[in-house]
């Protein structure tokens, strides 16, 4: 079977497994090594020391699997209806994006969409394994090895996905697909198979700066340049120490992650919703009363985050984040106060 035929087989099987996007990338060194090293040198990775510690592996994906020849890159949609109700009298694809202030006024904490369903690491790993097993069965006379990766592995997955033609890296640093938007979870199957590679697609952000303009904390310093130290997603999930006081007010009602730069992106306005039942499950509600979060017990934390990516933040971090959001709610004259504010 030719590399082209094997690639087509892999793509067909990936879609059978349930992936929304699939392409093949070459496992060669990163073409953005200079940009990545400069990003680290600026300290934009904050407390995520593992990004610096594993930099050389991330920049050279071939080191992750001996003899790797191709990387099958996949994407899975997780977009929900949250914030995308139609505007009266206008294109029914136009969104009504609720602001952090809306939630703050009601004394509730907001949770990013990806975190509310089953932990995507578990979902993607299971699906990648299914893909590998089906491909092995179809190529039973071919000896090959594989390794499944998600973002917990040292890979620059957005660059690989762009290399595989799944989309392009947008100005908000998310992977963007013209038809499917950016609410996409990524995974990779490194293989020793020789597969025909896909071509990258042309970037289509043009002069749009909506994501940069909308970022509550100005974490997007410039197009394609994210200062994680100011990013609400980083601050609520990865940042283990106290959140700088000057950022508290800007964080609004977010208690786990942030979707703002994706909510305002035009490519997400008409993008389809995710359909995978695990990813669109409501294990964590989109909004949680802050009063219950600031006094969250260990048992309550376990029940709230069981089986979800919400476990990435420990109990004390959830309570810390809720305390910030509660103070923001209490500072609004039109908002009800919480006892903990």
Break the chain into its structural domains and give their ranges: 3-80+119-191, 100-117+208-330
DSSP reduced 3-state for 27: coil
H or E element: which one contains 315? helix 315-330
Percent of the chain whose predicted confidence (pLDDT) is above 70: 90
Contact 231, 258 (CB under 8 A): yes
7 pLDDT more than 70: yes
Instruction: Report, as residue numbers or ranges, the catalytic residues.
Output: 151
pLDDT value of position 81: 86
96 pLDDT more than 90: no
Q: What number of helices (H) and strands (E) belong to the chain?
A: 15, 11
- Rounded mean pLDDT of the chain? 92
pTM, two decimals, is 0.91
pLDDT value of position 103: 62
Q: How far is CA 134 from the centre of its chain?
A: 27
Average pLDDT, stretch 209-229?
98
How many of the other CB atoms lie within 10 Å of CB of 11? 19
Return contacts of 120-124, CB within 8 angstroms, 24+ apart.
120/76, 120/78, 120/150, 120/185, 120/279, 120/309, 121/150, 121/151, 121/152, 121/309, 122/307, 123/76, 123/185, 123/276, 123/278, 123/279, 124/74, 124/76, 124/148, 124/150, 124/185, 124/186, 124/187
More confident residue, 165 or 85: 165
339 pLDDT more than 50: no
H or E element: which one contains 177? none
Percent of the chain whose predicted confidence (pLDDT) is above 90: 89
Residue 83 to residue 98: CA distance in whole angstroms:
6
Confidence label for 337 from pLDDT (cuts 50, 70 and 90): very low
List pLDDT tens digits, range 120-135.
999 999 999 999 999 9
List pLDDT tens digits, range 232-258.
999 999 999 999 999 999 999 999 999
pLDDT value of position 199: 98
């Amino acid at each position: 079977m030719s590399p082209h035929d094997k690639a087509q087989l892999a793509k067909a099987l990936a879609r059978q497994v349930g992936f929304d996007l699939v392409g093949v990338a070459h496992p060669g060194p990163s073409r953005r090594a200079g940009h990545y090293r400069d990003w680290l040198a600026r300290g934009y990775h904050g407390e995520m020391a593992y990004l610096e510690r594993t930099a050389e592996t991330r920049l050279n994906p071939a080191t992750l699997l001996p003899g790797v020849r191709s990387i099958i890159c996949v994407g899975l949609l997780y977009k929900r209806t949250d914030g995308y109700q139609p505007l009266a009298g206008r294109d029914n694809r136009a969104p009504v994006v609720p602001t952090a202030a809306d939630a703050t006024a009601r004394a509730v904490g907001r949770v990013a969409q990806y975190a509310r369903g089953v932990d995507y690491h578990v979902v993607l790993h299971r699906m990648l394994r299914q893909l590998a097993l089906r491909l092995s069965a179809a190529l039973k006379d071919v000896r090959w090895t594989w390794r499944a990766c998600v973002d917990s592995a040292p890979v620059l997955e957005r660059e690989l996905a762009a290399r595989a033609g799944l989309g392009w890296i947008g100005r908000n640093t998310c992977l963007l697909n013209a038809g499917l938007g950016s609410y996409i979870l990524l995974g990779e199957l490194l293989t020793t198979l020789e597969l025909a590679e896909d071509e990258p697609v042309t970037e289509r952000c043009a002069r749009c700066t909506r994501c940069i303009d909308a970022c509550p904390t100005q974490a997007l310093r410039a197009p394609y340049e994210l200062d994680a130290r100011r990013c609400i997603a980083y601050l609520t999930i990865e940042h283990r120490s106290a959140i700088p006081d000057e950022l508290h007010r800007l964080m609004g009602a977010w208690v786990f992650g942030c979707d703002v730069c994706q909510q305002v992106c035009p490519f997400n306005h008409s993008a389809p919703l995710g359909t995978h039942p695990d990813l669109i499950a409501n294990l964590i509600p989109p909004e949680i009363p802050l009063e219950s979060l600031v006094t969250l017990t260990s048992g309550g934390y376990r029940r709230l985050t069981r089986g979800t990516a919400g476990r990435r933040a420990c109990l004390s971090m959830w309570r810390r984040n809720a305390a910030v959001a509660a103070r923001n709610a209490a500072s609004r004259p039109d908002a009800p106060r919480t006892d903990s504010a």
